[in-house]
Amino acid sequence: MTTRLGPAVRGTIAVAIGFAAFFSVTGADSRWLGALGAAILRDGRIPHGVPYASSPSGSWPNVTALSELVFHGLYVAGPRGLLAAQLVAVGVALTVIARDARAARATDGATALVLLVVLIGAFPALAIIRVQLFSIALFPVLLSLLHADARRQSRALWLVVPLLTLWVNLHGAVLVGLFVLLAYLALERARTTPLEAAALAVAGVLAIFVNPAFEHTPRYFHGVLENEYAQRGVGLWAPLSPSQPFDDVLAVAGVILLAFAIRSRPRLWELVTLLALTVFTIHAGRSGVWLLFAAAPSAALGLGNAREATARLTRVTFVIGLAAAVFGLVHGPNSTGATPALIKRAIAEAKGSPILGEDVLAEQVALRGGRIVIGNPIDAFSRHAQAGYVDWMIGRAGGSAELALARVVLVKPHSDAEHTVAADPSFVRVAKDENAVLFVRRSKSAG
């Protein structure tokens, strides 16, 4: 058994990091953490609710304060700080997956090919910078610990407890990790060491409560899983759809990896894990990255004796990957949001009043110190407020109340929300850029 990474794998990881850097984008669900992190440092405590939003949120249990502080530090370091963190997460994930596959006796060539499929299938998750970067790094580490214990049981499995404790303070996908752990303990470990398996299961569940919200942790996760985005299947919670090109690529990659994973004759707990992650992915395409990560080590083993890449080719791919990573770090990540100048003008036009903005744009306002009506984290607000906000973004009548609260509105060009605001005679468009349009309510004297 060896975990040494050969030239083909090293070259593939370099290419993956390079491409993630070259095509990197700062996406939604990232900037609000920096805004909350700034509030924690400013006030010296974790705030009640979301301090930059006017909609009531005081009862929201803040579980992920650690990630908010980390993201604040990354934003202070600038866009390249965020990108560097994303690239570290990608590098850790693929390296751990590769070592896991090699420990299972997969060849270097087969492992490299599987990593390439993972790169292609999960590319949006690897290139778009979001808070899930923590889970991108930690989920493969959990899987590696479970696979190592399945090969040879040891006390090292108890490392999953501090891992889950760290993870819950960083990102909500810790629930996926907890599910996989419990599946392993129930279907594998319990057959040989039932008492230790039970103790580990209890410790793993209790680890989820070691966060600032403590006893309110279940309410936090209920809010995350039952928020209006998740219930309607919109935004990051959209189900896998054949009309979306990236979803099609993910589906093909998933089928390929699952086919080879099954060929390797995985254990029952692995089959249950892959089945569950397949269901999660169909329900919400964002879960696809966890499915690909989980299937990859077994798929590399099932692929068999793939031909090794030549040393010359791997050197070329390594250089290409390194060059792309350097270029990406120098250039910095692209943004799906408004320019700093437009955000600054929006805050000035608001004159201290809350701004109504679509997801990314609202996060930008919050990060720059402005106030918003409502935004991410969406689960911090009442279901009524969430429903009104989503209705407004998708152009339904139910969002009129949210619009009535705002003096200043930021929307994406050609979006349903823009059409709604443009049709309202009480607003006038005052500025725009490639990714945002700024509307201001007309003064009463202007008629």
Statement to judge: residues 266 and 414 lie in one domain? no
Phi, psi angles (nearest 5°) of residue 45: -160, 165
Residue 368 lies in a domain: yes
Question: Token pair of 174, please?
Answer: 């810790």
pLDDT tens readout for residues 410-425: 999 999 999 999 988 9
**What sign results for the dihedral spanned by CA atoms 89, 94, 96, 97?**
positive
Domain around 407: 340-446
Round to whole Å and give the CA distance between 357 and 364: 9
**pLDDT less than 70: residues of the chain:** 1-2, 306-325, 327-332, 398-400, 444-447
Q: Are residues 122 and 238 in the same domain?
A: yes
CA distance 296 to 12: 14
Asked whether residue 240 is domain-assigned, the answer is: yes
| Residues 117, 42 share a domain | yes
Residues 261, 206 share a domain = yes
Q: Which residues pair with 437 in a beta bridge?
A: 411, 432
Greatest extent of the chain over all pairs of C-alpha atoms, in Å: 79
Measured CA to CA in angstroms, residue 398 lies from 384, 387, 395, 412, 417 at distances of 10, 8, 8, 19, 12
Is 355 inside any structural domain?
A: yes
Show the tokens assigned to 39: 């509030």
- Residue 162, domain member (yes or no): yes
pLDDT of residue 311: 47
Give the bridge partners for 439, in sequence order: 409, 429
111/153 same-domain check = yes
Asked whether residue 18 is assigned to any structural domain, the reply reads yes
Same domain, 238 and 362: no
Same domain, 288 and 241: yes
C-alpha distances in Å from residue 303, one per residue of 108, 262, 344: 11, 10, 54
Per the listing, tokens 């009463």 go with 444
pTM: 0.91
Question: In terms of domains, do 95 and 189 share one?
Answer: yes
- Per the structure block, which two tokens stand in for 208? 């989820």
Q: How far is Cα 183 from Cα 177, in angstroms, rounded to an integer?
A: 10
Q: How high is the pLDDT of residue 447?
A: 43
Do the domain assignments include residue 334?
Answer: no
**Residue 2 included in any domain:** no
> Which residue reads 């309607």 in tokens?
232
Question: CA 95, CA 71: separation in Å to the nearest integer?
Answer: 24
Domain final residue pick, 327, 358, 379: 327
Which pLDDT score is estimated for 399? Answer: 67
Residue 142 lies inside a defined structural domain of this protein: yes
Give the end of a domain, one of 267, 295, 327: 327
Domain count, the chain: 2
What does the angle CA 12 – CA 18 – CA 22 come to, to the nearest 5 degrees?
145
Strand 355-357 to 408-411 pairing: parallel
Secondary structure (DSSP) of 195-221: HHHHHHHHHHHHHTT-STTGGGHHHHH
Report pLDDT for 98. Answer: 96
Mean pLDDT of the chain: 90
Q: Which two tokens stand for residue 71?
A: 């993201």
What are phi and psi for residue 430, nearest 5 degrees?
-115, -20
Residue ending a domain, among 327, 355, 388, is 327
Q: Residue 91: its pLDDT value, please?
A: 96
For 252-322, strand residue ranges (E) read none
Answer yes or no: are the C-beta atoms of 188 and 150 closer than 8 Å.
yes
Is there a single domain that holds both residue 395 and residue 296? no
Same domain? For 231 and 370 the reply is: no
Residues 323 and 355 in one domain: no
Same domain, residue pair 323 and 414: no
